[in-house]
Amino acid sequence: MIYKRVALIGLGLIASSMFWAMRRGNLAGEVTGYARSAETRDTARRIGLCDRVCDSIAEAVDGADLVVLAVPVGVMGAVAAEVAQHLAPGATVTDVGSVKREVIDAVGPHLPEGVHFVPGHPVAGTEHSGPESGFATLFDNRWCLLTPVPGSDADAVARLRAVWERIGSNVEEMDPDHHDLVLAVTSHAPHLIAYTMVGVADDLRRVTDSEVIKYSAAGFRDFTRIAASDPTMWRDVFLNNKEATLEILGRFTEELFALQRAIRTGDGDHLHDYFTRTRAIRRGIIEAGQDTDAPNFGRGSGT
């Protein structure tokens, strides 16, 4: 057991998965939970999510030595302001937000002296959300990035690292701005591109009479999976990782124009070289153990 009492604020995909993984590893004496809506709290009670589901932040945070902010990035500051009033001295506050710089700036100023702030981001997820979407193995063999701030207490960082490791993650420390740039490439921009592609298909649906749904091939289906992700979470990610996302999208647009031009001018060499380079990236991800090499992600047939 690493913490006596852990409070999960927000009971969605990430918090519920953390609960099941912490229970699997016997990492906390007691886990309390709070969610904004009575509906989510009732669901949590019904499925046994958390040892105790509380009706207020005050009750959930009371006596906790680790508080996890697991709400959308855009409300982290407001939630931290309320959490801060009930924190025990020496407690650690962490978050699981997909963006780090804006969250640090929004949360940090609310936390009182003597409380340790160790921001974090488990790089694992699915397109599902809510208290029933979590599962204990979500973080197994995935990365959890901790982005300590100046003055972060070394022992507090080490303890949080130990929890994530025993939850099943590989943990690395990273500078918050660097984190936001890396994630803009690996997660944020790809999500925006998926949203766009599915939006284009939706517009076309009207002229193709639903054929894009009926004949949807694996390439498009993969986009629709990503584009089914929670609208609130992703709105907040883009609004709070503005600079890095715009930088990557600028580069993306340039590359897209170059490929567009290669198609127009019949430059097959350019296309072939490009696709050869990108194929190597896929091999790298599989070799790093971050995805399966089964065709179509092991889901059976499809192109």
Q: Which residues bind ligand NAP (CB under 6 A)?
A: 10-15, 35-37, 40, 70-73, 75, 79, 96-98, 121-122, 125, 129-130, 230, 233, 237
- What does the block give as tokens for 197? 């592609």
Question: Judged by CB, which is closer to ligand NAP: 5, or 41?
Answer: 41
Pairwise CA distance, residues 36 & 116, whole Å: 24
Rounded to the nearest whole angstrom, what is the least distance from the CB of residue 195 to ligand NAP in the complex? 14
Bridge partners (DSSP) of residue 92 are: 66, 116
- What does the block give as tokens for 294? 């089964």
Question: Judged by CB, which is closer to ligand NAP: 132, or 153?
Answer: 132
Rounded to the nearest whole angstrom, what is the least distance from the CB of residue 68 to ligand NAP in the complex? 10
Question: Judged by CB, which is closer to ligand NAP: 65, or 230?
Answer: 230
Give the number of residues written for the chain. 303
Residue 216: how many other CB atoms lie within 10 Å: 15
Question: Judged by CB, which is closer to ligand NAP: 53, or 79?
Answer: 79
Contact 48, 166 (CB under 8 A): no
Rounded to the nearest whole angstrom, what is the least distance from the CB of residue 118 to ligand NAP in the complex? 15
Question: Judged by CB, which is closer to ligand NAP: 15, or 198?
Answer: 15
Rounded to the nearest whole angstrom, what is the least distance from the CB of residue 168 to ligand NAP in the complex? 14
- What does the block give as tokens for 175? 């500078």
CA 102 and chain centroid, separation:
15
Rounded to the nearest whole angstrom, what is the least distance from the CB of residue 4 to ligand NAP in the complex? 23
Question: Judged by CB, which is closer to ligand NAP: 192, or 212?
Answer: 192
Question: Judged by CB, which is closer to ligand NAP: 25, or 77?
Answer: 77
Pairwise CA distance, residues 180 & 185, whole Å: 9
Instruction: Kindly give the pairing relationship between strand 143-146 and strand 120-123.
Output: antiparallel
Rounded to the nearest whole angstrom, what is the least distance from the CB of residue 162 to ligand NAP in the complex? 20
Rounded to the nearest whole angstrom, what is the least distance from the CB of residue 48 to ligand NAP in the complex? 16
Question: Judged by CB, which is closer to ligand NAP: 75, or 185?
Answer: 75
Residue 86 CA neighbour count, 13 Å, CB half: 17
Rounded to the nearest whole angstrom, what is the least distance from the CB of residue 175 to ligand NAP in the complex? 18
- What does the block give as tokens for 23? 């229970």
